[in-house]
Chains A and B, each alone.
Chain A
Amino acid sequence: DTGVSQDPRHKITKRGQNVTFRCDPISEHNRLYWYRQTLGQGPEFLTYFQNEAQLEKSRLLSDRFSAERPKGSFSTLEIQRTEQGDSAMYLCASSLVPNEKLFFGSGTQLSVL
């Protein structure tokens, strides 16, 4: 069990650029979640997958955000035309059905200048 890994740990980008983050869940876990967290707030749910199917997206997730999990293993989260308000920690978590315990990665800290 190597845990959930996220890459990169930090990303600095200019407004208007596209960025992509990667998450590698615990290998046998079939559910994968993306959260966003800003300073002083709890993690905010963005979307989740069961295997390769994206089953729910938050209404807060704008059209500039897209997530994929093509083979039911790793996942990517892309943000197009970044805005300063996108600056946050992006957290990935995984779990194994029916166990609802979430295992989180250390996150990707995005700074949009």
Chain B
Amino acid sequence: DAKTTQPTSMDCAEGRAANLPCNHSTISGNEYVYWYRQIHSQGPQYIIHGLKNNETNEMASLIITEDRKSSTLILPHATLRDTAVYYCIVRGNTGGFKTIFGAGTRLFVKA
């Protein structure tokens, strides 16, 4: 699985959009970008995933660059409950099936 690079931490004002970047320059053609988040004392929670098209669901939007070497997770109106560690993961759907987590980005949403 390709490796990802994320900032260690970010701040966001409540009600504003939170834009979390992720670099995955070694991604290969059959690998997807997944995002999970982990709120303190809970297990990680799936947010969204995509291959090359932008994706949106009730939680967030995922913007993947055309060359697929980076992506951005967007929380359109961050709330205090969105304070968490956000993990960007790249994985294929063939071969090895383990999902490898890095250290993630710690997002602080401030009132």
Question: Main SS of chain B's interface residues?
Answer: loop
- Say yes or no for A42: interface residue by CB 8 A criterion: yes
- Say yes or no for B87: interface residue by CB 8 A criterion: yes
A-B contact pairs, 24 of them (CB 8 A): A4-B43, A31-B97, A33-B98, A33-B99, A41-B103, A42-B101, A42-B102, A43-B101, A44-B101, A45-B101, A48-B97, A55-B97, A91-B43, A93-B44, A100-B32, A100-B91, A100-B93, A101-B34, A101-B46, A102-B36, A103-B46, A104-B42, A106-B42, A106-B43
Which residues of A sit under 8 angstroms from B97, Cβ to Cβ? 31, 48, 50, 55-56, 100
Does B102 contact A102, Cβ atoms closer than 8 Å?
no
Q: How many residues of A contact B (CB 8 A)?
A: 25
Instruction: Classify chain B: how many residues form its interface, as a range.
Output: 20 to 34
- Say yes or no for B96: interface residue by CB 8 A criterion: yes
